[in-house]
Amino acid sequence: MEFLTILYVFIVLYLCYLIWKLFDQRRDQECYILAYQCYKPSDDRKLGTDCCGKIIGRNKKLGLNEYKFLLKAVVSSGLGEQTYAPINVMEGREANPTLNDGIIEMDEFFKDSISKLLAKTNISPSQIDVLVVNVSMFAALPSLASRIIQHYKMRHDIKAFNLTGMGCSASLISLDIIKNIFMSQKNKYALLVTSESLSPNWYSGNDRSMILANCLFRAGGCAILLTNKRSLKDKAILKLKCLVRTHHGARDDAYSCCHQKEDDQGSLGFYLGKNLPKAASRAFVDNLRVLSPKVLPTRELLRFTIASLIKRLNKSSSTKINNTKSPLNFKSGVDHFCLHTGGKAVIDGIGMSLDLCDCDLEPARMTLHRFGNTSASSLWYVLGYMEAKKRLKKGDRVLMISFGAGFKCNSCLWEVMKDLKDRNVWDDCIDDYPPESLANPFMERFGWINNVEDPSTFQIPDFLK
């Protein structure tokens, strides 16, 4: 009898130990953000209306029709006059970039944002265990990750990852790598560095599908410090709840809708195809299908299920289903929407699909206006806007959605760990946003081009030379 009692006690204690071990292990697998630092270039790199006009005027391959197309594209882009360009563009060398131009652009970002981030968190470079760098359209040897390690004298056993060619959604791909490392290793610091190099990728040809990229992409970047240290939970600002990645590279039309290539005259650029919106829509729908059960409360999923059954059973109903709008109410599980600033049409399209209001879309629209499309780092500028406006309160849930070449749609959900109010790179202008009008002055300045009808007699005005 005593033996059985001891055996029962042992079994119960062992089961308690297994439960405790599983719970303890899961606690060490969390992914927290301690801080992030967006990059803001110097004011002499701002692309005002006159500056943009001169850059366009330097391209001798453009004709009257291309000027009219550019005018329409810039006016409808949603960008303002304070976005930034790399140094070689400002110096008039965009048509003949060098390897050093790309390296200088990245080094400026690395030395500014990473240094500020480490100083803000009081973390030494030698404490970083994992480094993930994503810059899609620029690859140097040694890698950009190695340049960071060399500059900051990081440890010899640091786990470094250098991603290229992953497009505007690379930020969340880098985050997924860090999340997976955190699941198998305890008490780690990770540094995520996300940016894009425009210096060697400014298009100098006249292909309309490639000129468009010049109207949207701007210089920028962000450095993010993450950890899974349980002891730092109280210092964290965000906690990762879930992450979903969707890749449609197997589809021919999705794969080819946006990619880097040379035009017929040999000018390198980034091609944006007319089938891009369709490819993005399909990837978005597939991503939401996986994301919804992870994000939405049970009552919303139950409501959707019942509503879907009623619609199927009610065959006599003449009401047409609106395929452009999600039947799910994502606001029931999400407080803030952090959208990729791929362009005005992208932001408006997501807003229509998720039935979002102007307040929900304001952070993305204002980020596009102030900083442009900074590729994979754009999500963090949008997050910075929300924080600078003091909208992020403890317990709020923030949904990030990004798109990228391939074609990819990646999303993730964050929980806000404390009330946030850091103004970050928005410090000097956040009080002026949103402005009364987002009207682009390009039409007022260059609208006369639309009145020119004869391309053979058109000449570039002196103020554009």
Q: Determine which one of 52, 168, 222, 338 is catalytic.
A: 168
Q: Reply yes or no on whether 340 is catalytic.
A: yes
By three-state DSSP, how is residue 239 classified? strand
Which pair of structure tokens corresponds to residue 75?
């006016």
Nearest to 393, CA basis, from 414, 368, 365:
414
Task: Tell me which DSSP letter residue 217 carries.
Answer: B
What is the Cα–Cα distance from 296 to 238, expressed in whole angstroms?
19
Instruction: Say if CB 409 and CB 284 are below 8 A apart.
Output: yes
What is the Cα–Cα distance from 169 to 459, expressed in whole angstroms?
41
Region at 399 (left for phi over 0; alpha for psi -120 to 50; beta for the rest): beta
Which pair of structure tokens corresponds to residue 435?
């402005």
Q: Reply yes or no on whether 369 is catalytic.
A: yes
Q: Determine which one of 201, 287, 373, 440 is catalytic.
A: 373
HSE (CB half, 13 Å, CA atoms) of 180?
9
For the chain, first and last CA: distance in Å?
A: 100
Q: Reply yes or no on whether 168 is catalytic.
A: yes
Q: Determine which one of 369, 412, 424, 440 is catalytic.
A: 369
Instruction: Say if CB 239 and CB 227 are below 8 A apart.
Output: no
Q: Note the Cα 35 to chain centre separation in Å.
A: 17
* Residues whose CB falls within 8 Å of the CB of residue 260, separated by 6 or more in sequence, listed in order: 137, 201, 268, 269, 270, 271
Q: Determine which one of 222, 247, 258, 410 is catalytic.
A: 247
Q: Reply yes or no on whether 151 is catalytic.
A: no
Q: Determine which one of 340, 409, 424, 440 is catalytic.
A: 340
Q: Reply yes or no on whether 336 is catalytic.
A: yes
Nearest to 324, CA basis, from 367, 359, 280:
280
Q: Reply yes or no on whether 259 is catalytic.
A: no
Instruction: Say if CB 373 and CB 218 are below 8 A apart.
Output: yes
What is the Cα–Cα distance from 178 to 378, expressed in whole angstroms?
19
Instruction: Say if CB 194 and CB 221 are below 8 A apart.
Output: yes
Instruction: Say if CB 131 and CB 160 are below 8 A apart.
Output: yes
Q: Determine which one of 162, 228, 258, 336 is catalytic.
A: 336
- Catalytic residue set: 168, 247, 336, 340, 369, 373
